[in-house]
């Protein structure tokens, strides 16, 4: 084993002793609850080309991936998009969705986004729509039979800072319309994502996972498990509601060398799930 790989493995393993106290903090999961689908939001690997992205995601030992269009560009031809999908599936991944995609009240442009998602084999689009585009987005979501998870982006988001703001916009709409709950941005907007998952469960379709040292500070992101977010509580809530969507690690720090931190984050999250299963 190369020295770099050895140090990475040791670093990942070092987070496991932190689990016991935090993993027993909440109520037991529902009997027979499905496992959570831990995976990668490819924005974590935005500095790397498509093939390298797959290689690094595979190193994380996950089977699920959500693509940012830096890896499967929306400007590519349908054939190129389908080829990227085939390569992804041949590598052993299940494509859980794509985005975040900004949408405006332009049906022709939004239709292209749905055509892209269909060609790429994406069952869900993580979206940042303008409020006046929601009728168009809903119409095309039904037509293409592709779900839409509207992403909350925290205090800076003038439309959807919190999961509750998204829910207000979609609760009376077609079931294709739902939420992508960003865990870190939720806290910065003053919302406990665990509470939101439990209360808004019928429309929670996707998760972006990150950890923060300070729950109010965007630039305080850290390796998952080293911050202030209660992941045992969050994972128990997801299991309780029977969540089957993506739990996608969106690792936004260390952009030029993210793999060591991603490995540690997955080691922690797997440890939390192991601890939950034993309580």
Per-residue pLDDT tens digits for 225-255: 999 999 999 999 999 999 999 999 999 999 9
Q: What percent of the chain has pLDDT over 70?
A: 87
Residues 130 and 32: their CA atoms lie apart, in Å, by: 39
For residue 20, is pLDDT > 80?
no
Residue where the block lists tokens 């949408």: 103
pLDDT, tens digit, 9 for 90 and up, residues 186-215: 999 999 999 999 999 999 999 999 999 999
Residue 89 has pLDDT above 70, yes or no: yes
Structure tokens at 195: 């509470």
Where residue 277 falls among pLDDT bands split at 50, 70, 90?
A: confident
Q: Note the pLDDT tens digit of each residue in 125-175.
A: 999 999 999 999 999 999 999 999 999 999 999 999 999 999 999 999 999
Name the pLDDT band for 278 (thresholds 50, 70, 90). Answer: confident
pTM: 0.87
Residue 223 CA to residue 263 CA, distance in Å, equals 9
Residues making up the chain, counted from first to last: 279
Question: At 207, phi and psi to the nearest 5?
Answer: -135, 135
- pLDDT of the residue at 64: 98
Confidence of residue 35 (pLDDT cuts 50, 70, 90): confident
Contact 246, 96 (CB under 8 A): yes
Mean pLDDT of 208-224: 97
CATH placement of domain 35-277: 3.20.20.150
**What are the extents of the domains in the chain?**
35-277
DSSP character string of 47-95: TS-HHHHHHHHHHTT-SEEEE-TTTS-TTS-HHHHHHHHHHHHHTTPEE
Total Cβ atoms within 10 A of residue 117: 29
- Taking 70 as the threshold, does the pLDDT of residue 17 lie above it? no
């Amino acid at each position: 084993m190369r020295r770099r790989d050895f140090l990475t493995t040791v670093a990942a393993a070092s987070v496991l002793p932190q689990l016991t106290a935090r993993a027993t903090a909440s109520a037991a999961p529902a009997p027979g609850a499905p496992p959570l689908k831990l995976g990668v939001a490819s924005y974590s690997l935005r500095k790397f080309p498509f093939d390298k992205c797959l290689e690094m995601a595979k190193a994380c030992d996950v089977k699920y991936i959500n693509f940012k269009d830096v890896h499967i560009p929306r400007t590519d031809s349908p054939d190129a998009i389908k080829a990227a999908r085939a390569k992804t599936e041949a590598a052993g991944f299940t494509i859980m969705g794509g985005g975040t995609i900004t949408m405006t009240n332009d049906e022709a442009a939004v239709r292209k986004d749905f055509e892209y998602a269909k060609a790429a084999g994406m069952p869900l689009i993580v979206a940042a729509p303008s409020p006046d585009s929601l009728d168009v987005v809903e119409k095309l979501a039904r037509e293409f039979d592709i779900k839409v998870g509207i992403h909350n982006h925290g205090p800076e988001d003038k439309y959807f800072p919190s999961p509750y703001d998204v829910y207000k916009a979609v609760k009376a709409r077609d079931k294709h319309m739902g939420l992508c709950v960003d865990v870190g941005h939720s806290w910065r907007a003053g919302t406990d994502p665990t509470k939101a998952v439990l209360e808004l469960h019928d429309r929670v379709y996707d998760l972006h996972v990150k950890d923060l040292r300070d729950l109010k500070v965007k630039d305080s992101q850290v390796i998952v498990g080293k911050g202030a977010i209660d992941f045992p509580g969050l994972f128990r809530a997801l299991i309780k509601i029977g969540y089957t969507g993506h739990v996608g690690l969106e690792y936004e720090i260390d952009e030029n060398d993210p793999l060591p931190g991603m490995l540690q984050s997955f080691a922690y999250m797997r440890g939390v799930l192991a601890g939950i299963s034993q309580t």
